[in-house]
A and B are shown apart, each in its own frame.
Chain A
């Protein structure tokens, strides 16, 4: 009975440490996109490819679904090495991209050729849905190119070290810089899910990079050129450098974040509720464990904190294998996956637990895949001004106890502030006590704001109506709206102090990226990370394959 599902509580799930340990699941947005393309027999076609021998020029890829087509228009340009930076404040890139709604005309392409390379400085139209750009991986692009030109396949170890030929540094949708509004596509089944247009763009960029590297290699070759071997191709995804731009989104969209977290927790609860593990499910779990272990072995990072977590997770996977290999395996008991999860929760690291969550959800597509339709939210909450002051206070005491317990008198508890820089609107995480700009702080210090509201409510007469209170205290309006919404959307709030000296914004980035379906998190500081998208995903001519959805925890191909 699904009505009796027991979900992990928000105070466990919505903590920064656990959020920063998240992995992709089969309801991650990239997985949903690929499943749809498989299910609906999408075709992807290169309709224009006018690149010179260095790979510079224009290319168009059209993705055709059952009702509509979308086209990636790609522009590749020369870029000096000293211009190549992943930061938002960059002004030039190796390639720029637009996802066009339909099939662009020559005039459209001519217009976009002038605008897309300018990115934020260009203006776009409703016919464009997504704007993006990417830089070549200098570690890999030239190496792969040289190898193919010489007639040899690139070494798999080198491919594993990087995982992509290009790295996107921004993917803009939802009306930014004039591109089409989310409302334009929200009613289309293929783009109704979160970030589907953006991720379709990234998938098509992957197609472009694979074709581009072969094209350049062929042009440079003196007759020995070989195309990139298929399994190596599939192993190459698209890199992404993610900075603080993603973090505010998680805080300013509590209703949406609730939906995402609720769907995942619901998926886990459904699996944990399974009474008996069928033999084929146990076999599948073994296969996934083996693959996952290899994936973890190939996941190499320089960041010491993440490296320690990877080592713990490798150890955790080994222990899980031990637990299910013995005679009294939890998988032989009733509610086997619940039993296994409970063992992990009691004995393994948080990242190991979340890794297991991903594996468990992977086992039961028949129970969880439908949840991908619950990930969007169009609801805009308005304030219920009929609520009494007493009720509002009680709601805070019940749902925000974690916020009330934070000591904001301690200087370190307000060490940081979030702000937007005048330099290309780059979001930053400043030090309140040594940097200017705290007077322009973004309203992301939810715990502090809730506490300030609560303190004032405790000295406010209960006879005052909420409407009257907000009329006199409009500075609390956004917090009151949030508190009321979170009474329903229980996973909408990150239950930590987001301005504390110990706050790691990286946790926020990883949480969101895991929902996207990213893998190989490679933190470069507490403020940004590199990741890989679509690594192991089927190539366009493999979308029809029966195993098109089986690409979680990608591993390097065997050399041959």
Chain B
């Protein structure tokens, strides 16, 4: 099925809140998922996996490791939830570089998050991710644009997550990059026509988002705006 980018952002946010994520984090996850979708990645599916990791207890919030400067899951043996880690990585990058996180569950969502966060400051971010089975994901991010280097990956999730390092560097003229025609075209089509999502995943996201809704009751229905009115006037 086809959905709009706004729907991806909104539904991801609500689904994340539905499983208990604080709204400030959920809003940023929604924006990241929408950016990924518009850039040709499976944003909704990636976000769904991250939400499910949290819901099932497979992934956990992050803390600063007592052994090193990196972020790690707050529970031994669990993955680091990207929904918690991504906003904090950008926060820490503003005073420290590089920032690393171990056992991250969905590096691509971090990539989308960094792209969205980078739209204002004039910085370049370099993301380097190594999965537990050795696969490498590398991305460069500048002013709201992001580009993955190497083979395109839709998912880097692995049993033990990925070790990700993000480095912030100043932008110089020679490092300034602009979106390619292909990147522009992908985004244009996504904005013009919406994006395709897996219908089963979409249904699951809606089910999770429904946990933010208050079930209907006779009393609440009667207290709604315009209650009891039949407008034949």
Q: Which residue of B lies closest to A387 (CB)?
A: B94
Is B219 close to A, CB under 8 A? yes
Q: Is the CB of B215 within 8 A of A422?
A: yes
| Contact (Cβ within 8 A) A182 B6 | yes
Choose one: B192, B220, B229; the contact of A85 (CB below 8 Å).
B229
Contact call B220/A123, Cβ cutoff below 8 A: no
Any B CB within 8 A of the CB of A411: no
Report the bound CA distance from A183 to B2 in whole Å. Answer: 16
* Known A176-B4, A423-B221, A528-B226; further 8 A-B contacts with Cβ < 8 A: A84-B230, A125-B193, A138-B231, A183-B5, A422-B216, A425-B213, A440-B212, A477-B87
The 0/1 profile, CB within 8 Å of A marked 1, for residues 202-233 of chain B is 00000000111111110111011111011111
| B219 & A528 in contact (Cβ 8 Å cutoff) | no
Q: Which residue of B lies closest to A527 (CB)?
A: B225
* A-B CB contact pairs (8 Å), 21 listed: A86-B229, A89-B221, A125-B194, A167-B231, A175-B194, A176-B6, A184-B192, A380-B116, A421-B214, A421-B221, A423-B221, A425-B213, A428-B223, A430-B223, A431-B223, A435-B217, A470-B87, A470-B88, A471-B63, A477-B87, A479-B24
Residue numbers in B under 8 Å from A25 (CB-CB): none
Query: Sorted from nearest, which 4 A-B pairs have the closest CB atoms?
Result: A477-B24, A175-B6, A175-B4, A437-B214
**Contact present for A174 and B6 (CB under 8 Å):** yes
Q: Determine whether B64 belongs to the interface, using a CB cutoff of 8 Å to chain A.
A: yes
Please tell me if the beta carbons of B95 and A386 are within 8 angstroms of each other in the complex: yes
In the assembly, what is the distance between CA of A83 and CA of B212, in Å? 28
CA distance A488 to B165 in the complex (A): 32
Q: Is A126 at the interface (CB under 8 A from chain B)? A: yes
- The reply on B185 being an interface residue by CB < 8 A is no
- A125 in contact with B2 given A84-B231, A135-B231 (CB within 8 Å): yes
Considering only residues 212-270 of chain A, those with a C-beta below 8 Å from chain B are 241, 243-244
Residue of A nearest to B232 (CB): A138
A84–B231 Cα distance when bound, in Å, is 6
**Closest chain B residue to A529 by CB distance?**
B225
Write the residues of chain A forming the contact surface with B, with a CB cutoff of 8 angstroms. 81-82, 84-87, 89, 123, 125-126, 135, 137-139, 167, 174-184, 241, 243-244, 379-386, 419-423, 425-426, 428-431, 435-437, 440, 443, 465-468, 470-471, 474-481, 524-525, 527-528
A233 to B92: give the CA distance in the assembly, Å.
62
- Given A138-B232, A440-B214, A524-B226, verify A428-B220 contact (CB < 8 Å): yes
Say whether A84 contacts B232, CB under 8 Å.
yes
- Whether A435 touches B223, Cβ cut-off 8 Å, given contacts A85-B230, A425-B213, A478-B27, is yes
Partner of A380, one of B119, B225, B227, B229: B119
B94 and A386 contact, CB distance less than 8 A: yes
Q: Does B149 contact A (CB under 8 A)?
A: no
Q: Which residues of A contact B107 (CB under 8 A)?
A: none
Say whether B25 contacts A474, CB under 8 Å.
Answer: yes
> A422-B213, A467-B95, A475-B22 known; A181 and B64 CB under 8 Å?
no
Q: Which residues of B contact A471 (CB under 8 A)?
A: 62-64, 71, 88, 91
- Taking a contact as CB atoms under 8 Å apart, the answer to whether B92 and A467 are in contact is yes
Partner of A178, one of B2, B31, B219, B223: B2
Query: Is B200 close to A, CB under 8 A?
Result: no
B contact residues, total (Cβ < 8 Å): 56
Q: Which of B7, B61, B216, B220 has most A Cβ within 10 Å?
A: B220
B residues engaging A (CB < 8 A)? Answer: 1-7, 10, 22-25, 27, 31, 61-64, 71, 84, 87-88, 90-92, 94-95, 116-117, 119-120, 191-194, 210-217, 219-221, 223-227, 229-233
What are the residues of chain A within 8 A of B23 when measuring CB–CB?
443, 477-478
Which listed residue (A135, A179, A181, A528) contacts B225, Cβ 8 A?
A: A528
Q: Which residues of the partner chain A approach B215 to less than 8 Å between Cβ atoms? A: 422, 436-437
Q: Are B64 and A179 in contact (CB under 8 A)?
A: no
Residues of A within 8 A of B116 (CB): 380, 382
Taken together as a complex, chains A and B put the C-alpha atoms of A385 and B231 apart, in Å, by 52
Known: A243-B224, A380-B31, A470-B88. Contact between A126 and B4, CB under 8 A?
Answer: yes
The closest CB in chain A to the CB of B121 belongs to A382
Which B residues are in CB contact (< 8 Å) with A440?
211-214
CB of A274, distance to nearest CB on chain B (Å): 37
Q: Is the CB of B214 within 8 A of A422?
A: yes
- Residues of B within 8 Å of A431, CB to CB, are 223
Most chain B CB inside 10 Å of its own CB: which residue of A428, A479, A524: A428
Query: Are A430 and B226 neighbours in the complex by a CB distance under 8 Å?
Result: no
Q: Is the CB of A385 within 8 A of B225?
A: no
**Contact pick for A467, options B91, B193, B220, CB 8 Å:** B91
When the two chains form the complex, which single residue of A420, A466, A467, A479 contacts B213, counting CB atoms closer than 8 Å? A420
Closest CB-CB distance, B120 to chain A, in whole Å? Answer: 6
Residue numbers in B under 8 Å from A435 (CB-CB) = 217, 219-220, 223
A-chain residues with CB within 8 Å of residue B192 when the two chains form the complex: 126, 180, 184
Q: Is the beta-carbon distance between B214 and A175 smaller than 8 angstroms?
A: no
In the complex, which residues of chain A have a beta carbon less than 8 angstroms from the beta carbon of B5?
175, 181, 183
- The CA of A436 and the CA of B213, in the complex, are separated in Å by 11
CB pair A419 B214 closer than 8 Å: yes
- Shortest CB distance A293–B (Å): 28
A468 touching B64, Cβ below 8 Å: yes
B contact residues around A419 at 8 Å (CB): 213-214
Given A138-B232, A382-B120, A181-B213 contact (CB < 8 Å)? no
Q: Report yes or no: A86 in contact with B226, Cβ–Cβ below 8 A.
A: yes
Interchain CB contact (< 8 A) of B25 among A243, A379, A477: A477
